[in-house]
Structure 1
Amino acid sequence: MIRKPDFTRGEEAKRLLLIAAPLMAAYIAEFSMFLTTKLVVGSLGYKHLAAVGLGGSLSFEALVVTMGLLSITGVLAAQAEGAGRKAEAGHAARQGLIVAALLSIPLGALVWNLDAVMRWTGQDAEVAALAKPYLHVLSFFALPTLLFTVLRDFVAALSRTGPVMAITVAAVLVNWTLAEGLVHGRWFLPEMGIAGAGAAKVIVAWAMLAALTLYIWRKPALRGYGLFRARLRFDPAIVKVIFRLGLPIAGLVGVEAGLFSAVGLLSGIIGAEMLAAHQVLMGWIGIPFVIALGLAEAAMVRVAHGVGRGDPAGARQAGLVALGIGVAILTLMVAAPLLLAETITRIFISADDPGFEAVSGIVSQLMVIAAIFQVFDGAQAIMSRALRGVRDAYYPLWLGAFGYWALGVGGGWFLAFPMGLGGVGLWVGLAVGLIVTACLLTLRFLAITGRAAKVSSRAPAI
């Protein structure tokens, strides 16, 4: 028989939103930092916007792949929390900090050399040259950002996401102030040009890490987890689990992030105007996506809690409630890009810029496609993270590889170049890839949790 969940759908929704609401606010704020950086640099010209937009996007996507691997520490902590084992939750986070420090070295080196990747992929030579000083400074954000990620996943696993929101929202203002000052030489700060945007991000990353560390250190309710009880000891068994489950998750995040990176790179081959338009479009698309991401992270925690307390039906319900809420919110947001395409372009590029008309025309044309697929983009984010909560890592990787790359990148390239549809073809392929992947991941979640829920014992079935 199918066992009833421990909570009703209404109770689950409340518990989910308690975690998700601060995370959504935090992710919107975090995304706002990328937007403000584009706004500050965009005043220098559309090629500067293209350089920081593409360089920042490639850096961020390399970062989120690494964060995908580290996210398994949040799953381990959440399952331990659901089972009432505080020491295990803290131990998982401690090992995550060690792994994060090690991974920051290759990540920083990769970001340093991304300008070479831009040249190898046929980007505008001026755009690649402009991105170089920005990337060289930005590469030093790897260590503080990855350490912050582990601590953020740890407090999220304990359903304590409020401080993450407060820290990230405050960071938006600090980031804008520093970027404006360091890029343009204002408020007695040195004028560094495009490199100043990277310096601002690095300073803010260290400040955010310090603030969250201080909160965890001083919060009495978190002392029982032993996160800072003794020196960090390397535990091969836990680290092995982190890599065994984290690598396929990183692979899934990589093929997802690679989809947008590939579309960005192919946009640059079409021309600088198309690349600038792509950055403007991503400026909007990121907003509904980070809202869905907050729900997705909360779904991962709630699903993992269900597994930890031996309630597989509750784990299934948590994922489906998150999906329903996410689809409802994103559907309500569909009208915004259709009505505000030119306005959104003006936010990033001055109307007096010689490339404004061309960029604005492309944005208006592609916003229709963007409005359609944003719902499915959010749905696939929620379902992929819900599957992490049940430690299902390998199957989603292959589903994502098929949907994102075979259909998304491959189909977009075919429509854009052999079929001659240009930017429209790229974005149609992007939409198809996201829609198909969202459907496949949802079916996978229904299948794996449906089997686990058909039990009568209290033992974890997932």
Structure 2
Amino acid sequence: MVTKVFAKSDITIEAREFIKLAVPLAGAQVAQALVGFVDTLMMGHLGAQSLAAGGLASAVFQLVLNTLSGVVMSVSPLVAEAYGAGNKHQVERIARQGLWLAVLLGLPMMVVISHLDWVMMHLGQAEQTVVLADGYLDYVLWGFVPALGFAMLRGYVAALSQARPVMMIVLFGAIANITGNYVLGYGQFGFPRMELAGLGLASGLSFWFMFLALFLYTCRNQTLKEYPFWRGLHRLRPQILWQLVVIGTSIAVTIAVEYGLFTVVTFFMGTLGTETLAAHQTVYQTVFLLFMVPLGMSYAATVRVGQWMGQRDRAKTQQAGYVGVASAAIFMAITAIALLLFRQPIIGIYLDVNDPAAAGVMQLAIPMLIIAAFAQFLDGVQRVAMGSLYGLQDIRTPMVLSVVTFWGIGLTSGYVLGFLMHLGGIGLWLGQSIGVAFAGVIFLWRFHSLTLPKNFARLKPETTSAHHF
């Protein structure tokens, strides 16, 4: 069967196909980030104690979920490559094992989440904070398996170039979550006031909604119905499952390394004082939201590179990666200019610029935002370059390089500039930016190197079949 996705290869067509994938995936990431922002606001209205406990519980849950989502994301490059190779049965087999992987990872992790109160107590958290946080976690954990299942299906439909409804499903899921927060958290329309427990229940229900909606889409969509992976779900294939685990573990470690860097930097900011931490949080929240766009683009780059990889077409594989990186660079350059031009109004979203008490935070936040404007350009490029490497199923080397660049270079230089050279929070931002810059250059160089004729011929993914389009 000839698919129009592979019919033409010029840059314009490639860019159009990339954008068709990137827009819904990036939109879904932005919607999810906005839900986290709204959740924080709604926790704040329950009181300072609830905000502290809910923020702690949500951060822990999201860290675990995002890390393990990296494992099931291994479905995306493998399905994209098998799809490009025209191996229909392998697409079905990978997706089927991907669902099994979500269940096999999710169920034991639910047990772990249910005992996180013990961990928090032993890390010195206040008893009342732990009790409130545990109320949230006890309910949200029931959404953990469908959350992993949704992450797997999102990568699966994207790999088959059918990601358009993902953004709408996430958007409706976000609306359901916020509505559930209001009804269950605050006790509206006759429901009991559950506070943080209600917010946890609303989040868990929204995960179920998104998973079931996307699963039904895969069953009903005309193209996706050709890959009925839901049939024969009892068939476990240990070899494919193990391949998913090996690739996914490397992706998960990379995610944990990147999240860990920003977590440690935030901790360092706190040691420099309340004003420095507040300034950092205003800048970080802004660039984190913007970063969701190149993150979605990176998923699209993985798919496009993986699809051409399945075709064994070196030039088009390389072109797909470059188009993805260039698209991210253009978008992030535009947002960087906007951050530089409107830095005071942006900080004013979080602070009252006319309040003399906020002057110290403003003075620290503006230079941080200037550095962040350049840093997020580099971060966008490195993330999409990494996604392109995932499309080549080059997973382990980026994991090692992430540790070296983010922690070895970024964190070390940040510590030196921030503390030893007494540049404070500005030095920490400079340091992590240096690490991101190194990562971007190295990932781009590696992608270019692997897609050279002499090296590309050695890349032989296991899922490639002899049956091409």
For normalisation by structure 1, the TM-score amounts to 0.87
Q: Which amino acid aligns with 2:372?
A: A
Counterparts in 2 of 1:307 and 1:282: CA distance versus 1, 3 Å? same
| Match for residue 154 of structure 1 among 153, 156, 171 | 156
Report SS of the residue matched to 1:245: helix
CA 1:383–1:272: 2 relative to 1, 3 Å = same
Query: More deviation in 123-132 or 176-185?
Result: 123-132
Question: Structure 1 pair 359/177, CA: closer, same or farther in 2 (3 Å)?
Answer: farther
What is the distance in 1 between the residues matched to 2:100 and 2:158? 19
State the alpha-carbon separation in 2 of the partners of residues 352 and 200 from structure 1. Answer: 37
CA distance in 1: counterparts of 2:436 and 2:398, whole angstroms: 13
Show CA shifts across 1:164-183 (max 9, x none): 11101112222222223333
RMSD across aligned C-alpha pairs, in angstroms? 3.4
In 2, Cα distance between equivalents of 1:148 and 1:354: 46
Further displaced range: 404-413 or 295-304: 404-413
Which amino acid is the alignment partner of residue 65 of structure 1?
A: T
Q: Does 2:215 match 1:251? A: no
Aligned to 1:100: 102
Q: Which residue of 2 aligns with 1:175?
A: 177
Q: 1:190 to 1:419 in 2, by over 3 A?
A: farther
Counterpart residue number, 1:387: 389
Equivalent of residue 237 in structure 2, options 235, 238, 244: 235
The corresponding residue for 1:370 is: 372
Counterpart position of 2:136: 134
Using the alignment, how far apart are the partners of 1:422 and 1:201 within structure 2? 37
Deviations 1:2-36 (A, max 9, x none): xxx96111111111111111112222112211121
Q: How many residues align?
A: 457
Task: Give the C-alpha shift of residue 193 in structure 1.
Answer: 2.9
Q: 1:326-368, CA deviations, whole angstroms, 9 ceiling, x for partnerless residues?
A: 1001110013334555655565578999986665554334222
Is 1:184–1:192's contact at 8 Å kept on the other side of the alignment?
yes
Q: In terms of mean alpha carbon deviation, does 188-197 or 97-106 score higher?
A: 188-197
What's the counterpart of residue 163 of structure 1?
165
Do the aligned partners of 1:77 and 1:89 also contact (CA within 8 Å) in 2? Answer: yes
Q: Distance in 2 between matches of 1:262 and 1:377?
A: 17
Secondary structure at the aligned position of 2:223 is classed as helix
The residue correspondences of 1:185-200 to structure 2 (distance < 5 A) are 185-200=187-202
- The structural deviation recorded for 1:185 is 3.3
Contact 2:280 2:368 in 1 (8 A): no
CA deviation string 1:116-150 (max 9, x = no partner): 76677788998777645434443333211101111
Note if contact 1:71-1:246 (Cα within 8 Å) is conserved in structure 2.
yes
Q: What CA distance in whole angstroms lies between the structure 1 residues aligned with 2:385 and 2:377? A: 12
C-alpha distance in 2 between matches for 1:223 and 1:44: 46
Superposed counterparts of 1:46-445, under 5 Å: 52-53=54-55, 55-109=57-111, 111-112=113-114, 131-271=133-273, 274-341=276-343, 343-344=345-346, 347=349, 362-445=364-447
Asked whether the equivalents of residues 20 and 164 of structure 2 are also in contact (C-alpha less than 8 Å), the reply is no
More displaced stretch, 161-170 vs 106-115: 106-115
Task: Decide whether the 8 Å contact of 1:310 with 1:458 is kept in 2.
Answer: no
Partner of 1:21: 23
Aligned to 1:180, the other structure's residue is in SS state helix
1:115–1:261 CA distance, 2 compared to 1 (3 A): farther
> Contact 1:46–1:355 (CA<8 Å) still a contact in 2?
no
Identity over the aligned pairs, expressed in percent?
33
Further displaced range: 373-382 or 360-369: 360-369
